[in-house]
Amino acid sequence: MSTKVSNGDRFGKEQIVNSLLFTAKEKDVLNVILQDDKSYTIEEAKQSMGLFINKEVLN
């Protein structure tokens, strides 16, 4: 079984959250920010997580 992922491969939220590519903390963030009915590339998931983590907190 190949574990290589191409840039164009798209995955559902559950597949991404259950993958071995992310730590437990990253999976928690992805579980919150990814939508159930959409598919994402690994790069899109990483970008979404980066934007969420680096978002400025408003008072």
AA identity, residue 41: T
- 3-state DSSP of the chain: CCCCCCCCCCEEHHHHHCCCCCCHHHHHHHHHHCCCCCEECHHHHHHHHHHHHCCCCCC
* pLDDT at residue 31, rounded to an integer: 97
Instruction: State pLDDT tens for residues 19-54.
Output: 999 999 999 999 999 999 999 999 999 999 999 999
Pairwise pLDDT comparison (54 vs 3), residue with the higher score: 54
* pLDDT at residue 2, rounded to an integer: 54
Q: Is the model's pLDDT at 1 over the cut of 70?
A: no
Query: CA-CA distance, 36 to 14, in Å (whole number)?
Result: 8
